[in-house]
C-alpha cells in the first residue's frame, strides 16, 4: 500500500500547497519587497521589521480565508477524451458519466457557502486526484480495447488443439518435442491474451467505482450544509479518508497495468 507521501494526499499536501500560494501571492510579495527596498533606502531595520510583520499577517489572513483555500486548491478540470471518439462502449459510457457527475458537483459547489467549502479543502484536492486517475484509466481501457479488437483468442485455441494432436501422433521423439514446444508457446500467448482481457474488465470495473463515488459526492456536500462546524469536519474528514483510500488502491492498480499496457502497445 502506498503511503500518504507517495500518494500526495495526506493533510500536509494541501496545506503546503495553500501556504506556498499564500507566501508567493502578488500582493504579499509586493508588501515584503516594498519593505525591503524602503529599509535599504532608509537604512532602517524597523521599516524592514514592520514590512515583515505585514507580510506575515497577510499570509496568515490568506491561510484563514475559506475563499482563498477554494481558489488555491482549484485546479484546471482534468481533460477527458471525447466519448464519441472512443472505440469501447463501456469506456464511452464511463466518460459520459464522469462528465455528468463533474457537472452536478460543480453546480452543488456553486450553491454551497464559503464556510462549508472551507471544510472541503482536502476533499476537493482528493477529488482532483481521483479525476486524474480516471483519465489515465480511460486511456488504458481504450488502449487495451483497441488491441483486443485486433486479435482473437479462438484461432490460438484451435492451434493449441492442433499441435497437441500432432504431438500425440508423432512417432519421432524429436518431432514430438518440437510440437510440444510450439504448443507451450501458444499456451503462453493465450494466457497473455486472457490476462489483457481480464485487465480491461478490471479497468472498466474501477471506472464504474469512480463514477459511483463521484455521483455520491453532491448529496454528501448538500448534507454538510445542515451540520454544525464539528460535524462538518467529521464528515469532510470521512469523505477525504475514503477518497484517499480509493486513490491509493487505484495507484497500486495502475502500477500492475504497466506491463500489460506495454504488451498491448507492442
Residues 180, 68 contacting (CB under 8 angstroms) = no
Q: Is residue 71 domain-resident?
A: no
- The whole-chain average pLDDT of the chain stands at 78
End-to-end CA distance of the chain: 29
Q: Which residue has the higher pLDDT, 66 or 13?
A: 66
Give the DSSP letter of residue 172. S
Q: Same domain for 9 and 138?
A: no
What DSSP element (H or E) covers 44? none
The pLDDT of residue 218 is 92
Q: Is residue 72 domain-resident?
A: no
- Number of other CB atoms surrounding residue 73 within 10 Å: 20
Does the pLDDT at position 25 exceed 60? no
Q: Is residue 218 domain-resident?
A: yes
Q: Same domain for 46 and 127?
A: no
Q: Residue 229 sits in which domain range?
A: 79-265
Q: Same domain for 201 and 140?
A: yes
What is the spatial distance between Cα 173 and Cα 116, in angstroms, rounded to a whole number?
A: 78
- C-alpha cell of residue 208: 464504474
Q: Is residue 69 domain-resident?
A: no
The pLDDT of residue 213 is 94
What is the spatial distance between Cα 63 and Cα 29, in angstroms, rounded to a whole number?
A: 15
What Å distances lie between residue 159 and 148, 173, 193, 264, CA to CA?
18, 20, 14, 21
Average pLDDT over residues 105-110: 90
- C-alpha cell of residue 214: 463521484
- C-alpha cell of residue 48: 524592514
What is the spatial distance between Cα 238 and Cα 76, in angstroms, rounded to a whole number?
A: 25
- C-alpha cell of residue 51: 514590512
Surface-to-core class of residue 143, CB atoms within 10 Å of its CB (0-12 exposed, 13-18 middle, 19+ buried): buried
- C-alpha cell of residue 13: 499536501
Q: Same domain for 13 and 88?
A: no
Q: Same domain for 149 and 56?
A: no
What is the spatial distance between Cα 123 and Cα 14, in angstroms, rounded to a whole number?
A: 10
Q: Is residue 70 domain-resident?
A: no
Q: How confident is the model at residue 43 (pLDDT cuts 50, 70, 90)?
A: low
DSSP of 130-162: HHHHHHHHHHHHHHHHHHHHH--HHHHHHHHHH
Q: What is the pLDDT of residues 225-243, one digit of tens each?
A: 888 777 888 888 888 889 9
Q: Which residue has the higher pLDDT, 247 or 10?
A: 247
Amino acid at each position: 500500500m502506498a503511503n500518504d507521501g507517495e500518494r500526495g494526499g495526506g493533510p500536509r499536501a494541501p496545506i503546503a500547497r495553500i501556504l506556498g500560494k499564500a507566501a508567493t501571492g502578488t500582493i504579499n510579495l509586493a508588501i515584503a519587497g516594498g519593505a525591503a527596498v524602503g529599509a535599504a533606502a532608509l537604512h532602517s531595520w524597523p521599516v524592514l521589521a514592520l514590512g515583515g510583520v505585514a507580510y506575515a499577517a497577510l499570509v496568515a489572513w490568506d491561510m484563514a480565508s475559506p475563499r482563498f483555500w477554494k481558489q488555491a486548491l482549484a485546479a484546471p478540470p482534468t481533460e477527458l477524451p471525447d466519448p464519441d471518439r472512443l472505440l469501447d462502449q463501456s469506456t464511452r459510457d464511463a466518460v459520459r458519466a464522469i462528465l455528468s457527475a463533474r457537472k452536478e458537483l460543480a453546480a452543488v459547489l456553486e450553491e454551497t457557502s464559503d464556510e462549508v467549502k472551507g471544510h472541503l479543502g482536502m476533499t476537493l484536492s482528493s477529488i482532483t486526484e481521483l479525476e486524474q486517475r480516471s483519465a489515465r484509466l480511460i486511456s488504458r481501457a481504450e488502449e487495451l480495447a483497441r488491441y483486443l479488437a485486433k486479435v482473437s483468442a479462438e484461432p490460438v485455441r484451435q492451434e493449441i488443439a492442433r499441435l497437441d494432436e500432432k504431438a500425440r501422433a508423432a512417432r519421432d521423439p524429436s518431432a514430438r518435442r518440437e510440437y510440444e514446444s510450439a504448443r507451450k508457446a501458444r499456451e503462453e500467448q493465450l494466457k497473455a491474451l486472457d490476462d489483457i482481457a481480464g485487465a480491461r474488465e478490471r479497468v472498466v470495473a474501477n471506472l464504474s467505482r469512480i463514477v459511483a463515488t463521484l455521483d455520491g459526492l453532491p448529496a454528501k456536500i448538500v448534507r454538510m450544509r445542515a451540520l454544525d462546524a464539528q460535524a462538518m469536519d467529521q464528515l469532510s474528514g470521512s469523505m477525504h479518508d475514503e477518497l484517499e483510500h480509493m486513490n491509493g488502491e487505484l495507484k497500486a492498480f495502475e502500477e500492475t497495468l504497466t506491463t500489460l499496457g506495454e504488451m498491448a502497445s507492442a
